[in-house]
Chains A and B, each alone.
Chain A
Amino acid sequence: MLQFLKDIGISDITILKMINNNSEDILYDLECDQVNCLEVIKYLQELNIQVIDDLLINEIGMFFKTKEYLVNKFSKFNISEIVDDINDDYIAIESVLYD
């Protein structure tokens, strides 16, 4: 399961935590939507977000969003400030997602 994440270097521990923290259904859905998920991860890396593991474990829902959707959400913030906040405390992503 989630081999596509292992392929881009997501650790076994993170995958294990994802499995513990999310239902099998949603992980299956993520498998189904893996192309999109990889695009989102790439975008987060471009933003210099360093807590992607935490986001995969705790905010899996955001990996079903399209890159365009997230670009639009982030565009409402000062990117470097919000990225710093997220890197400090991943929970700051909620400001972006649920705004």
Chain B
Amino acid sequence: MNELITRAFREEKQAIEERINTATILDLEVKISNLKDILNNPQSLLNFNMEDIKDYITEFEHDNLEYLKQALGLEFFLITDNELERIKNIISSVLEKIEKIYQEQKQEIDKLHNEIKKLENLEESVREIYNGSYISSEDLRILVEILNKYIDISEVNKLIGELCTLSIINISKVDELELEEIPDEELEIAQETNIDSNLVEALFSSYGYNIDLIKEETRNLLYRYGTLENMDAIFKLLEDNNIFVNIKRFQKQFCNILIHSNKENVSTIIELLKRDMIVNESSETLNEVFENVLCAQEIFINRKRAFRRYKKSGGSSGGGQNNGGRYENFVINHDYLESLGANVLKIIDSCEEVMRMNPNRLKRCVRDFDFYGIPKESYLNSPSAFKVTTNLETMDMFIELGGYEYACSNPSMLVRATNSPMFYRLYKAKEENEQVFRKTKKSILLPKRITVESEKGYGIDFTNGSEVVKQYIPEFSTDYGLLIEKDTFDYNMTNALNDELIKFLEENYKIDDLRYNFNGVIISRNKVLRNYELLIRHGQGGKFEALMYALTKNSILNEEEFNLVFDCAKKVLEKRGR
């Protein structure tokens, strides 16, 4: 670990340790013990130093106690029960006060010890980054706070940049470990088995299926690559669960499962579906639910098993690309969606593609939606939204064009590309002060002149949007886009938020967590922070041009609007010059 970081941790630890005042607490412990002695034996007041409690009692109580102490010391003076009681009352009240202070002090010390413990854990987490681990954004925020106290800001930026980069590399390594692509040569390819067609027909018949409903071409695959044991085990499992597949409709899917899947996978899926049916109080039958997932045949097949590829005895498997099954994806996605509180059956029913997609992509989509505050119930009820990877940039477009609520209501619309004619049409509508968003009972919709391509609303099609709205395309001396594309955003914007240029924007133009307002031009705040963060990590921090790139990336602005943003942002330079 970097020596500067180690030193900062050491100094922070020392600073906390210095605040731990054990002397006071030991002193209080002695006082409490002495006072308790007096309560048990008032005679011990004689040996008690009244100065010890002077600060905790009134002058009257002090004098009273002093008088009683002296009286106790006189042999000829007989102290009454009332006087003894008075001693006890005063001492009890002092004891109570001191015990309270003692508890507060103790809590403070425990808190400081806790802080040290946390600091040590954080130090360990940072050290672990160098051993292949990664750090959470909250830990990173605390780390920045600590480093800022002991190290020069420019050095902090450099160190944090390094740690972020390492951390991101490590995160992607973890992702790869979970879901590494199976190299083509490692795929298990179905071998020819050439089983007797009569035996297969008999097997089908024994479970009540008419094999003649399957087209000859598909049937031949069963004879050539299936095994009787595997088919029998799957048929038996289905029968035990009262599932009878419509083999006329699902012939290709079902035969693929019989050839490439196994009893264990089918059983796991059936059990998950049963659980979903109970959790979501489904009114469908298991048979119906099962046929819904049957459309997505590859979720029954292991990732290592080549799906749709076969091998002739002694021959090669032929060409073809890597296409293993998606069973593992289904199981991981199922658990993940369930943990989010989704009605998994509904997702299977309406968009089962989500179930087989790469789990990392699914998780990333969810993080994107959360990042922009899209309500969970909205995206979980709109599963097509998980199908794309450009969510963040599209969301920025909606924010800048006044369609944030529309996107929240219809997150599937985030599938649109940032250069979709729809955005140029939204710009025109905004320019002409048209109210295009229409609320219905269920959601918010747009008119066809905005959404339907063939309508050519406002004269805009796929080719001329930029031209029609007179979009200003600024030129930059560096290809910042290329730098941004090098990284995947990790939702950590600590560097950006600590940057002086951004601090200026935050103070002067932020209207809420989603938007900056530059004299009427709305710019997505997350877009700026996200892109600028990545640029900082590539050594572009503090550069005004880089900031302008982050501000205007993908924005549909005419020259006048661009200049408004520019004029507002450049005020930071004036501030810098002062």
Q: B-contacting residues of A (Cβ < 8 Å)?
A: 21-26, 28-29, 32-33, 35-36, 51, 54, 58-62, 64, 85, 87-92, 94-95, 97-99
Q: Which residue of chain A lies nearest to B382 when distances are taken between CB atoms in the complex? A: A94
Residues 450-465 of B at the A interface (beta carbon under 8 Å): 450-453
Task: Check if B503 is an interface residue, CB within 8 A of chain A.
Answer: no
Say yes or no: A54-B452 contact (C-beta < 8 A), given A29-B253, A32-B253, A89-B447: yes
Residues of A within 8 A of B387 (CB): 21-22
- Which listed residue (B250, B384, B446) contacts A89, Cβ 8 A? B446
Task: Check if B383 is an interface residue, CB within 8 A of chain A.
Answer: yes
Q: Which residue of chain A lies nearest to B346 when distances are taken between CB atoms in the complex? A: A98
- Which listed residue (B323, B356, B445) contacts A92, Cβ 8 A? B445
Cα separation A90 to B416 with both chains bound (whole Å) = 13
- Convert B365-403 into 0s and 1s, putting 1 for each residue whose CB lies closer than 8 angstroms to a CB of A: 000000000000000011110010000000000000000
Residues of B within 8 A of A54 (CB): 452-453
Complex contact A64–B448 (CB within 8 A): no
Complex contact A26–B353 (CB within 8 A): yes
Residues of B within 8 A of A88 (CB): 445-448, 451-452
Complex contact A89–B295 (CB within 8 A): no
Complex contact A61–B252 (CB within 8 A): no
Nearest CB of chain B from residue A95's CB, rounded to whole Å: 4
Complex contact B384–A59 (CB within 8 A): yes
Complex contact A95–B442 (CB within 8 A): yes
How many chain B residues have a CB neighbour from A under 8 Å?
A: 38
Complex contact A95–B452 (CB within 8 A): no
Complex contact A61–B352 (CB within 8 A): yes
Say yes or no: A94-B448 contact (C-beta < 8 A), given A35-B249, A61-B350: no
Complex contact B356–A25 (CB within 8 A): yes
Complex contact B451–A90 (CB within 8 A): yes
Complex contact B448–A87 (CB within 8 A): yes
Residues of B within 8 A of A28 (CB): 308
Say yes or no: A29-B350 contact (C-beta < 8 A), given A61-B384, A88-B448, A92-B440: no
Say yes or no: A23-B353 contact (C-beta < 8 A), given A85-B445, A98-B381, A98-B383: yes
Complex contact B447–A25 (CB within 8 A): no
Complex contact B415–A58 (CB within 8 A): yes
User: What are the 5 closest A-B residue pairs judged by CB atoms, nearest first?
Assistant: A32-B252, A95-B442, A61-B351, A89-B445, A64-B295
Complex contact A61–B415 (CB within 8 A): no
Cα separation A61 to B447 with both chains bound (whole Å) = 24
Cα separation A5 to B532 with both chains bound (whole Å) = 45
Cα separation A92 to B351 with both chains bound (whole Å) = 15
Say yes or no: A85-B440 contact (C-beta < 8 A), given A33-B249, A54-B452: yes
- Which listed residue (B298, B350, B445) contacts A25, Cβ 8 A? B298
Question: What's the count of A-B pairs with C-beta under 8 Å?
Answer: 91
Nearest CB of chain B from residue A99's CB, rounded to whole Å: 8
Complex contact B440–A94 (CB within 8 A): no
Residues of A within 8 A of B250 (CB): 33
List 13 extra interface pairs beyond A61-B353, A94-B381, CB under 8 A: A23-B353, A24-B323, A25-B356, A29-B253, A29-B296, A32-B297, A58-B412, A61-B352, A92-B440, A92-B442, A92-B445, A94-B384, A98-B346
Q: A-contacting residues of B (Cβ < 8 Å)?
A: 249-250, 252-253, 295-298, 308, 323, 326, 346, 350-353, 356-357, 381-384, 387, 410, 412-413, 415, 440, 442-443, 445-448, 450-453
Residues of A within 8 A of B252 (CB): 32
| 28 CB < 8 A contacts A-B | A22-B353, A25-B356, A26-B296, A26-B353, A29-B296, A29-B297, A32-B253, A33-B295, A36-B249, A54-B453, A59-B351, A59-B384, A61-B352, A88-B445, A88-B446, A88-B447, A88-B451, A89-B445, A89-B446, A90-B452, A91-B413, A91-B451, A92-B445, A94-B382, A97-B350, A97-B351, A98-B381, A99-B442
Residues of A within 8 A of B410 (CB): 91, 94
Cα separation A95 to B443 with both chains bound (whole Å) = 8
Cα separation A88 to B297 with both chains bound (whole Å) = 34
Nearest CB of chain B from residue A69's CB, rounded to whole Å: 9
Residues of B within 8 A of A29 (CB): 253, 295-297
Nearest CB of chain B from residue A56's CB, rounded to whole Å: 13
Cα separation A28 to B447 with both chains bound (whole Å) = 33
Nearest CB of chain B from residue A40's CB, rounded to whole Å: 12
Residues of A within 8 A of B447 (CB): 88-89
Say yes or no: A98-B382 contact (C-beta < 8 A), given A22-B353, A61-B353, A91-B410: yes
Residues of A within 8 A of B440 (CB): 85, 92, 95
Complex contact B295–A25 (CB within 8 A): no
Nearest CB of chain B from residue A75's CB, rounded to whole Å: 16
Residues of B within 8 A of A94 (CB): 381-382, 384, 410, 412, 443
Cα separation A85 to B440 with both chains bound (whole Å) = 9
Cα separation A18 to B227 with both chains bound (whole Å) = 36
Nearest CB of chain B from residue A87's CB, rounded to whole Å: 6
Residues of A within 8 A of B453 (CB): 54
Residues of A within 8 A of B446 (CB): 88-89
Cα separation A56 to B167 with both chains bound (whole Å) = 40
Cα separation A92 to B323 with both chains bound (whole Å) = 34
Cα separation A85 to B323 with both chains bound (whole Å) = 39
Complex contact B452–A51 (CB within 8 A): yes
Nearest CB of chain B from residue A89's CB, rounded to whole Å: 4
Complex contact A58–B384 (CB within 8 A): yes
Nearest CB of chain B from residue A8's CB, rounded to whole Å: 18
Complex contact B323–A25 (CB within 8 A): yes
Complex contact B445–A91 (CB within 8 A): yes
Nearest CB of chain B from residue A81's CB, rounded to whole Å: 9
Say yes or no: A91-B412 contact (C-beta < 8 A), given A23-B353, A25-B323, A26-B353: yes
